[in-house]
Amino acid sequence: MINLLPPETKAAYRYARRNYVLLRWCTACLITLIGGALLAGGGYLYLNRSINSTTQQIADTNKQLQTQHLASVQKQVGTISNNLKLVAQVLSQEILFSKLLKQLASVTPNNAILTNLAITQTQGGIGITAQTTNYNAATQLQVNLADPKNQIFSKADIVSISCSNTGSGVNADYPCTVTLRALFAKNNPFLFINDTKGVRS
């Protein structure tokens, strides 16, 4: 088929087809750009909302952790404080028995024997039980223990004295039993915390 159209008309048709194709490409690019912008905007809003939500969760979690940690620390401090008080109390009543027994033996009358030593509930006190040949020996033991020259006790009180006339048993020669309660003298050498020489038995 022979195209007899003038060259100007043929050129116009050719440019018209090119313009149509170009218009289609421009429209497709515009739609793509609009879609990309919508996706980017939606993604930004979603990310921003997620960030805000995560930030709030982190803040709440940190607040809870701080509250729990503070309570835990306060509890630990209280426990440590109580333990330190307990240690101080135990050390204040810790007795160097090896030294104490030697000193007690030196002040015990010949007609008396010690049978029991026990820490009492009274702070700095000790319970002493002894058997003696008679009532006078029991009172003499109390006098010796309370004597400040011996540097053992600030005072010693007789709780009870009982004597038996049976004359039998393992300690038949010591029929009297005396119970005393004594309070350690301050700065005496028989308590752990007062052992300034660093020798502990």
Tell me, what's the pLDDT at 200? 40
Give the per-residue pLDDT at 201.
40
Q: What is the CATH number of domain 97-194?
A: 3.30.1360.100
Q: In this structure, are residues 150 and 107 in contact, taking their beta carbons and an 8 Å threshold?
A: yes
Residue-wise pLDDT tens digits, 63-118: 877 776 666 767 777 777 776 765 565 555 555 666 777 888 888 998 999 888 88
Query: 5: helix, coil or strand?
Result: coil
The Cα–Cα gap between 88 and 10 comes to 113
Where along the chain do its domains lie? Answer: 1-50, 97-194
Query: Two tokens at 58?
Result: 């982190």
Q: What are phi and psi of 186, to 5 degrees?
A: -70, 145
3-state SS assignment for residue 173: coil
- pLDDT at residue 197, as a whole number: 46
Provide the residue-wise pLDDT of the chain in tens; the chain has 201 residues.
Answer: 555 667 777 677 777 778 788 888 888 899 998 988 888 888 888 888 888 888 888 888 878 777 766 667 677 777 777 767 655 655 555 556 667 778 888 889 989 998 888 875 545 678 899 999 999 999 999 999 988 888 788 889 999 999 887 654 456 788 899 999 988 887 776 665 444 444 444
For position 142, what pLDDT does the model report?
92
pLDDT in the model for residue 124: 64
* Tokens found for residue 128: 């002493």
